[in-house]
Amino acid sequence: EAAVTQSPRNKVTVTGGNVTLSCRQTNSHNYMYWYRQDTGHGLRLIHYSYGAGNLQIGDVPDGYKATRTTQEDFFLLLELASPSQTSLYFCASSDLDRSSYEQYFGPGTRLTVL
């Protein structure tokens, strides 16, 4: 079973603050994803990547940057946080090269922007 970890688990910042959310997966998956989950909107894809150095834009990318430094590590950056970015953020990974579409999710990071 895939292991996906996220840090921090909770974060409070102020408007205009700089936040980095971290995600690590240890099962050598190629694909990694960042989602935000909000009531009434489900899971919305922010950015994803299919390998180190690669970045693909998701459905709600505005205000977010992401970087995939290694196969294991995927970071989400909020350089000027706004209250609208208060949300629960999930990271996920999958290995589509093995004909498996299943995404494995991390425990989530709850971000509050005051």
Determine phi and psi for 102, rounding to 5 degrees.
-65, 135
The one-letter amino acid code at 58 reads: G
106 binds other proteins (CB under 8 A): yes
Min separation Cβ 87 and other proteins, Å: 14
Min separation Cβ 94 and other proteins, Å: 9
107 binds other proteins (CB under 8 A): yes
Whether omega for the bond prior to residue 107 falls within 30 degrees of 0, making it cis, is: no
105 binds other proteins (CB under 8 A): yes
Q: How far is CA 3 from CA 14, 79, 92, 112, in A?
A: 31, 28, 10, 25
Whether omega for the bond prior to residue 61 falls within 30 degrees of 0, making it cis, is: no
Determine phi and psi for 96, rounding to 5 degrees.
-65, -25
Min separation Cβ 80 and other proteins, Å: 26
By rule CB under 8 A, what string of x and - marks binding of each residue 40-79 to other proteins? xxxxxx--x-x-----x-xx--------------------
Residues comprising the chain, all counted: 114
For binding to other proteins (CB under 8 A), which residues are involved?
4, 31, 33, 35, 40-45, 48, 50, 56, 58-59, 90, 92, 96, 99, 101-103, 105-108
